[in-house]
Amino acid sequence: MSITLMLVGLLATGAQAPSALHCRITLAAGAPSETCRVTVPTGKRLRACADADRQAGHCDAAGGRRFVAWVVGTGPGRCHITTKKTDWDRTVRAKLSKSAGASSCDLYVEVQ
């Protein structure tokens, strides 16, 4: 019963679940490095990290703050969130570095 009341309370206050934005980079062997960008929609903001996010490894530090943003890479290429042209207010970028083998990189960012 308390779960139902809490859910009704969330609906009444207009609370919304965070949504994840995503971009993907795929490189063939020997292809040059590439970046992908996630842009935070107008009226939204990056979601701050909670303990569950930290435990899952889904937090990235930015200017002393922590946001829910992470990358998942496959293959030998280095996949990482880049600070170049990432402002953490509107845009987050990931970079996949050139490698001898085929690689991919997925960037996930949660907004609220």
Contact 105, 38 (CB under 8 A): no
> pLDDT by residue for the chain (112 residues), tens digit each?
333 333 333 334 455 667 889 999 999 999 999 999 999 999 999 999 888 888 888 887 765 678 899 999 999 999 999 988 888 889 999 999 999 999 999 999 999 9
- 90: exposed, middle or buried (C-beta count within 10 Å: 0-12, 13-18, 19+)? middle
8 Å CB contact between 106 and 71: yes
Single pTM value for the model: 0.79
Is 13 a domain residue?
Answer: no
- Count structural domains, the chain: 1
**Domain span at 25:** 18-111
Q: Assess if residue 103 is contained within a domain.
A: yes
In a domain, 23, yes or no: yes
CA atoms within 13 A on the CB side of 37: 12
d(CA 47, CA 82): 18
